[in-house]
């Protein structure tokens, strides 16, 4: 007899697609998809059950459906995804507590997979180059999503001690990004102008949405247990990501960022919470050695490929390289028409050449400015 899998959080993109993919996985007989709201898309062969994991009734669902594997994906990163910060806190923490209590009382449950987050490690100037699974946050979170994740993992470890017969797998995933999934990073990168912290260029790692689905399926169906970092190979800096997306940035002094972030959160256009601000200031790196050697999982997409797939879906930004080349071609055509003589494209400066010329002019002007400063002169 195959597995009977219960998936939480199917009102969200990741949970819904996870349930649909698991319904076609070898060795899985049935998938029960649970959430308080109906899914906004196809569930494949999964059966939807309207239930709130914050309510003890979830225990009856697990027993009635004879569930032996639970995949918990409903730990929400953004307040907008759950209707407000207080509701998000209740769903993440109280919901997880109730779900674990239900699993503890269900003797047929033999496997638990918790989709956690690299936000567990926080982000600060004291961070190591790469976090391993044995490390903790250098600065303990006082609130927000990072604190929720820390509490969720604490309750999960407690459950593992009380039910040693259950294989518990915790996946600390990097920021999920892809062409179709809605996530905190896709919301940020989708802005026409990207706010950033002046003077900082954080390191970023991404996990492609398909890799996120694949690792959840692998953890649910394979004979594995433990805590694992999950991310695509490689690291990009924020400036590199911005250039690839062709988006202009709005660097702001660190003192002004919290006020701006609060205003942006109220619009629900993108998540610019204190956790997100810290991440976009200091960044984060994950060591994924254990993911390969012990979990036995290999992502299909690198960090760079995940960003490229997202960029292809959202289209070029205002200053994307392809748009710059199109403007150059338009200028060549306009000048040919105006002068009525051929103007070779090679004779016109490219975007890179124009930038280099500006740098050269600035270097030549520095001695002049220095002599003016020595004479005590200034403009304006």
Instruction: For residue 226, tell me if it sits in a domain.
Output: yes
Instruction: For residue 9, tell me if it sits in a domain.
Output: yes
pLDDT of 359: 57
Q: Are residues 224 and 357 in the same domain?
A: no
Q: Are residues 292 and 374 in the same domain?
A: no
Question: For 337-352, how does the pLDDT look when each residue is reduced to its tens digit (9 = 90+)?
Answer: 766 555 455 554 555 5
| Most confident among 89-93, 134-138, 241-245, 300-304 (mean pLDDT) | 300-304
Q: Are residues 63 and 115 in the same domain?
A: yes
Mean pLDDT of 265-273: 71
- Alpha carbon 276 to its chain's center: 10
Instruction: For residue 84, tell me if it sits in a domain.
Output: yes
Question: For 4-33, how does the pLDDT look when each residue is reduced to its tens digit (9 = 90+)?
Answer: 999 999 999 999 999 999 999 999 999 999
Residue 46 has pLDDT above 90, yes or no: yes
Last residue of a domain, one of 296, 314, 332: 314
Widest distance between CA atoms in the chain: 89
Instruction: For residue 292, tell me if it sits in a domain.
Output: yes
Instruction: For residue 274, tell me if it sits in a domain.
Output: no
Instruction: For residue 198, tell me if it sits in a domain.
Output: no
Instruction: For residue 211, tell me if it sits in a domain.
Output: yes
Question: For 106-152, how does the pLDDT look when each residue is reduced to its tens digit (9 = 90+)?
Answer: 999 999 999 999 999 999 999 999 999 999 998 878 778 889 999 99
Half-sphere exposure of 52 (CA within 13 A, CB side): 8
pLDDT of 212: 97
Q: Are residues 160 and 289 in the same domain?
A: yes
Per the CB < 8 A criterion, the answer to whether 46 and 23 are in contact is: yes
Q: How many domains does one find in the chain?
A: 2
Q: Are residues 141 and 54 in the same domain?
A: yes
Q: Which residue has the higher pLDDT, 210 or 2?
A: 210
pLDDT of 376: 44
pLDDT of 191: 86
Q: Are residues 58 and 118 in the same domain?
A: yes
Using CA atoms, how far residue 263 sits from 77, 92, 196, in Å, is 18, 24, 15
Share of the chain above pLDDT 90, in %: 63
Q: Are residues 362 and 216 in the same domain?
A: no
pLDDT of 378: 44
Question: For 278-313, how does the pLDDT look when each residue is reduced to its tens digit (9 = 90+)?
Answer: 999 999 999 999 999 999 999 999 999 999 999 999
Q: Are residues 289 and 372 in the same domain?
A: no
Domain of 133, CATH number, reads: 3.40.50.720
Instruction: For residue 151, tell me if it sits in a domain.
Output: yes
Q: Following CA atoms 180, 181, 184, 186 in sequence, which dihedral angle do they give, to the nearest 10 degrees?
A: -10
Banded pLDDT at 256 (limits 50, 70, 90):
confident
Tell me the torsion sign for CA atoms 278, 279, 284, 288: positive
Domain hosting 212: range is 3-177+207-232+285-314
Pick the range with the lowest mean pLDDT from 69-78, 80-89, 118-127, 250-259.
Answer: 80-89
Whole-prediction pTM:
0.81
Banded pLDDT at 372 (limits 50, 70, 90):
very low
């Amino acid at each position: 007899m195959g597995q009977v899998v219960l998936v939480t959080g199917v009102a969200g993109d990741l949970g819904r697609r996870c349930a649909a993919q698991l319904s076609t996985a070898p060795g899985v007989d049935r998938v029960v998809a649970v959430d308080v709201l109906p899914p906004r898309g196809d569930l494949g062969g999964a059966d939807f059950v309207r239930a709130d994991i914050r309510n003890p009734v979830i225990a009856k669902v697990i027993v009635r459906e004879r569930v032996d594997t639970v995949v918990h994906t409903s730990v929400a990163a953004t307040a907008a995804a759950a209707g407000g910060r207080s509701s998000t806190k209740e769903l993440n923490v109280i919901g997880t507590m109730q779900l674990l209590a239900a699993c503890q009382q269900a003797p047929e449950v033999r496997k638990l997979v918790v989709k956690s987050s690299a936000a567990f490690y926080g982000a600060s100037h004291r961070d190591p180059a790469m976090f391993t699974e044995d490390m903790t946050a250098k600065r303990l979170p006082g609130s927000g999503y990072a604190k929720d994740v820390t509490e969720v993992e604490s309750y999960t470890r407690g459950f593992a001690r009380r039910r040693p017969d259950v294989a518990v797998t915790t996946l600390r995933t990097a920021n999920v990004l892809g062409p179709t999934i809605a996530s905190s990073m896709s919301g940020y990168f989708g802005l026409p102008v990207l706010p950033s912290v002046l003077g900082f260029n954080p390191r970023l790692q991404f996990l492609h949405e398909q890799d996120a689905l694949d690792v959840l399926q692998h953890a649910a169906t394979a004979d594995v247990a433990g805590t694992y970092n999950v991310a695509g190979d490689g690291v990009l800096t924020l400036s590199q990501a911005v250039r690839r997306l062709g988006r202009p940035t709005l660097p702001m002094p660190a003192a002004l960022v919290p006020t701006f972030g609060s205003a942006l959160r109220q619009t629900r256009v993108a998540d610019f919470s204190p956790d997100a601000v810290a991440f976009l200031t200091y960044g984060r790196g994950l060591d994924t050695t254990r993911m390969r050697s012990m979990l036995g999982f290999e992502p299909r997409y690198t960090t760079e490929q995940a960003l490229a797939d997202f960029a292809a879906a959202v289209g070029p930004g205002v200053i994307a390289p392809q748009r710059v080349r199109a403007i150059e071609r338009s200028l060549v055509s306009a000048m040919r028409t105006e002068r009525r003589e051929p103007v070779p494209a090679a004779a016109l400066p490219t975007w890179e050449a124009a930038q280099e010329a500006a740098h050269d002019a600035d270097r030549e002007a520095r001695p002049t400015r220095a002599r003016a400063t020595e004479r005590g002169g200034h403009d304006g």
